[in-house]
Every structure is written in structure tokens, then in C-alpha cells.
A and B are shown apart, each in its own frame.
Chain A
Amino acid sequence: MRRPAFGETGIYWMLVMPALLMLIGFYLFPLVRVLWVSVMEPTPGLGNYALLFTNSSIHRVLLTTLRICLLTTAITLLLGYVVAYVMAQASERTQRWMMLGILLPLWISVLVRAFAWVTLLRRQGIINNSLMGMGVIDDPLPLIWNELGITIGMVHYMLPFAVLPLLTGMRGIDRRCLAAARGLGASRMQSFMRVFLPLSLPGVVGASILVFIFSLGFLVTPAILGGGRTLMIAEYISVQILDVVQWGVGTMLATTLIVFIFALLGLLARVVDMRRLFGAT
């Protein structure tokens, strides 16, 4: 194929421009201003960042966020791995049905899903009412407005995001390796532990970091299922801006959050091909 002349490429850049200008003007520029505000308000300097080390309520929020996100990631990966493992080996038809079961929740409004969990988990909710009706428990179980409720809701939200990259990774595994292991006398368990699991590890690392990153900045589900009692970082930021109007603290935490996320992504880029993970190629 002949390389297009410069003028030709120039025309194609004109097609790119509207999106690029929108992204720069209405996305990247406001984002940079968040960083700017974090060192300029209320007074110029790194005063806001010092709070990261001195303020105990910020410490509590950061620890709660990390704890819930790590727990969510671990549970999500475990469950997601089982689903992806079965899907990767199922027949075409079964795979399609399972995929539907993964994609439908993925695209249903996060608010609807949080609402559904509220109807199930609250004190007079469906689970507590039926357990009490059957006489299994006398008092309602505290299933919601605590870390348990948040974790349930988050695992439910994150599962599809774990299954999809795991599945992509597992589909790339040459199944003849497994057949060979079985043929050489390995049990089902051995061929899984010694062959399949190691080969699927890059997908596991990719999926974990992806789920962890999405969990970190998640607002809606933790806010609804935490009921304002268990604060995670995203909700804390929104409270700083919308309720107590402390832009300095809010933007400082927002900046900390994206710096942390991009550091994790840098780590991820060393392990797996990012563009494959997002399906861009």
C-alpha cells in the first residue's frame, strides 16, 4: 500500500479533531484544574496534602476504602474465575447464555441494582422478613448500612468486569496443553493447578487491578448501601464539595485518587497488553 501524502493525512486528522478538542477542552482541562485547585485553595501550598498524614477522619476513610476494595476485589476475582473457567470450556450455546447472564446486569442501571439490594437486605427487607417468618432468626440481621452491605453490592457490580478480561485470557490458553496433561496421567485437579492456573495468571492480574481501580472511585453503590455511616473516598469527596464546601480537601483527595490509579495502571501495563484488555484493537 502506498503511504498517503502529508495532505491526505491532514484530512484524516481533521476527522479526529472534533473529538480530540472536546476531550481536551471539556475533559482534560477541567481535570487539570482539579489538580490546580488542590494546591491553590484555601491557600497556595501543599497544606491540603499534609492532611493526608495528620487528619484522622481522612485516615479512617482511606483505610475503610482500601479494606472494602481489597475484599471486594478478592471475592469478585474468586467468583469471576469460576464463571470464566466454566465459560471457557462450555459449548458455544451454553457460553451464549452465560454471557447474557453477565452482560444484562452489566448494563442495568447501577441505581436499580443498589435499589434492588436495599429491598432485599434492609431490616424489614425480603431476606430478613422471610428468615423471621420461617423462625430461623428472632431479630433482623444487620445486612445493610455497614461494610457487609457495601461489599455485597460492590461484588455484584464488579463481577462482569472481572469475568470479561478473565475470559479473554482463558480463551487464549491452548486447550491441547490441558489435553496433553490429562493424557500424561495428570488428574483433573493436577492439570488445573499445574497447567491451567499458571497460564491464566496474567488475566487474573489484569482483572484484579481493573476491578480494584473501578472499586476505588465508586460512589453510587457504597453511598446507598453504606447509608452514610460507612464512608468511602468517593462519597467523602462529594460530601466535601456538596455539603461542607471544602474544595481544597475534596480536590486533594480526588488528585490522590487519580495519582494512585495511574500508578496502578502503570503496574498493569507491565503485566498485560492494556489495549487488549479494553478491546481496542
Chain B
Amino acid sequence: MDGAPTASRPVRGLAWAIICFLLLPIAVVFPVSLTDKRYLSLPEDNLSLQHFANLFSSPEWLSSIGQSFVIACAATVLTVIVGTLCAIGCWRIGSKLADFVRVLMLVPIIVPTIVYALGIYRLWVDLRLLDSYLGLIIAHSVTGIPYVVIIVSTALAHFDARLEQAARNLGANLRQRLWLVILPGILPAVVSSAIFAFIHSWDELVLALFLASRAVFTLPRRIWDGINEQLDPTMAAVAVLLIVVTMVLLGAEMWLRSRRTA
């Protein structure tokens, strides 16, 4: 403390209470997923793993998990490649126009997904990509680009541009400079952007509502139907699964971040 006043005790208590408001509702699905009842409730007599057993023996849930995983992986690879290249390009060009391109890449965060969903739905009707893996992968990739551009651009801002200059003066071509100089320097940022791009696609519902119907039925799409139709404790087991996946990915990201700043 450097002598400036800190927040008073009641205010600090209030802040922690608000953080509990953020976390507790999420925590509640853990006990609910272990309930011994057949309806959504806290466990009363015993803890039971039957709802997890239901989840992992249901072909519908398993197929949705598999589909979401494949789509998220493909979308992540595509987004990270084009997003990283774009961030590197804009960084080296450094003109007003490049700044404009970087801001343009943020548009998908600002425009509500529902609006984009209408547009891409119409385009996919014309291109016959409705209800296909490719259609959803492209839609998730485009909307994931902002996360990659933001994270990689931030890392590049701290990267010494003279290293790349030196490599060029020593005769390295563009591919060598990208692979051997720039990429190793920003690798942790690229990996964390991949984590966020993955979560973005894995959790995405609104586009899936419009673009997926029968052949493709992602996990969020099935959860949506579950919430609207039969609210059984299997849903809580799915929720726990999703929370654990997110926590693992975020943990990995934070570990990377600590290495990046160290």
C-alpha cells in the first residue's frame, strides 16, 4: 500500500458479495447433478452418479458432444491461422488503413449474433451449406476472428519489430521470418487465442439455432432443446461437463499468461 486510501470494510464486503452472486448460481449445478431424484433438485438422501451415466450412455448426447468438438476444432484452426496472419500483417504495415482493418475485424463482436444469423442463413440457403459441418465451421470461424486479432495484436505490440528487421537483413524470406522469428515470440498468445476461439465455437448457440437442424445438431443446440422441453437432471450433468471443460481451458490459458509475463 502506498498511502492512498483503500476501500472501507463494508464496501469490500459488498464487492465480495457481488462476486459470490456471480459464482454461486454456477456452483449450484454441481450438487443438482448428483441428485438421487428423477427431477431437478438438490440431493436429499443419497448422492448418485446416475445422471452422468445417462449422459454418457445416450447416443444423442454423445453424438452432439462429438459434433461440437469436431466443429470447434476445425473452426479454431481456421480462425487462428487467418486471424494471426492478419494481426501480423497489420502490425508490420502499420498504416492508417491497417488500423482500419484491425477495427473492422472487431465488427463481429459488436453486431448482435441474431442479426448476423439472419444474413448467413440466407447465404447458406443459396450456397446449399445449411445444416452442414462446413457451414457452421465457417460461421464460427468468422465470428471468432476478433478474439484472435485482439489477443495476438496485444502480444505483437510488445514484440520487438527490430528482430524481424534483423532477420530480413540477414536474408530470411517471409516464411522463415514468420516461422522462425515472429511465431516463436508470440506463441503463448497464439495458443491462448486458440483457447478462446475454441470456447467461442464450442458454446455457440444462436448460429447453431439457425444453421443446424438435423444432420448437424451441436451440443448447445441440444441443451437448448433440453431446457425448453424436458428439464431433467441429465441437463445438470451436461452443465457440469461444460463448466469443467471451460475451467480446464481457462486454467491452461492462465498458466500460459503467467509464463508470458514472466
Contacts and interface: CB of A to CB of B under 8 A. Distances in A.
A191 interface: yes
Interface stretch (A15-23, A51-59, A135-143): A15-23
9 contacts: A16-B89, A86-B12, A87-B15, A107-B249, A109-B243, A119-B28, A119-B236, A179-B3, A182-B5
A48 to B, nearest CB: 13
Contacts, number: 273
Interface of B: 1-8, 11-12, 14-16, 18-19, 21-23, 25-26, 28-29, 32, 39-42, 81-83, 85-86, 88-90, 92-93, 95, 98, 101-123, 138-139, 141-143, 145, 149-150, 153-154, 157, 161-162, 165, 174, 196, 199, 203, 205-206, 209-210, 220, 223-224, 227-228, 231, 235-236, 239, 242-243, 246-247, 249-250
Interface in A6-32: 9, 11-16, 18-20, 22-23, 26-32
Contacts of A265: 110
A216 B112 contact: yes
A113 interface: yes
Contacts of B142: 22-23, 26-27
Interface of A: 1, 4, 9, 11-16, 18-20, 22-23, 26-34, 37, 79, 82-83, 85-87, 89-91, 98, 101-105, 107-120, 124-126, 129, 156, 159-160, 175-176, 178-179, 182, 188, 191, 213, 216-220, 224, 234, 237-238, 241-242, 247, 250-251, 254-255, 257-258, 261, 265, 274-275, 278-281
A217 B113 contact: yes
A109 B203 contact: yes
B29 A119 contact: yes
Most buried by B among A31, A117, A218, A238: A31
B6 A90 contact: yes
A179 B246 CA distance: 41
B5 A19 contact: no
Given A116-B239, A217-B114, A15 B89 contact: yes
A1 B115 CA distance: 44
Contacts of B105: 19, 23
Contact of B174 (A11, A213, A251): A11
Given A26-B139, A251-B118, A12 B92 contact: yes
A254 B26 contact: no
A98 B123 contact: no
Contacts of B228: 224
A109 B231 CA distance: 17
A204 to B, nearest CB: 16
A14 B89 contact: yes
B160 to A, nearest CB: 12
B118 A254 contact: yes
Given A120-B25, A179-B5, 15 more contacts: A13-B89, A15-B85, A16-B89, A16-B90, A22-B141, A34-B122, A103-B250, A116-B25, A119-B236, A217-B115, A219-B206, A224-B227, A238-B114, A247-B118, A274-B103
A234 B103 contact: no
Contacts of B150: 278-280
Given A27-B116, A280-B103, A104 B15 contact: no
Given A113-B26, A188-B8, A220-B205, A86 B82 contact: no
Contacts of A188: 5, 8
Nearest to A173: B4
Contacts of B236: 115, 119
Closest 4 CB pairs of A and B: A217-B112, A30-B119, A15-B89, A19-B86
B242 A108 contact: yes
B113 A219 contact: yes
Contact of A254 (B8, B85, B92, B114): B114
A89 B116 contact: no
Contacts of B42: 126
A115 B116 contact: no
Contacts of B206: 219-220
Contact of A23 (B32, B104, B117, B203): B104
Contact of A241 (B3, B12, B118, B138): B118
A16 B93 contact: yes
Nearest to A255: B115
A172 B186 CA distance: 27
A12 B102 CA distance: 14
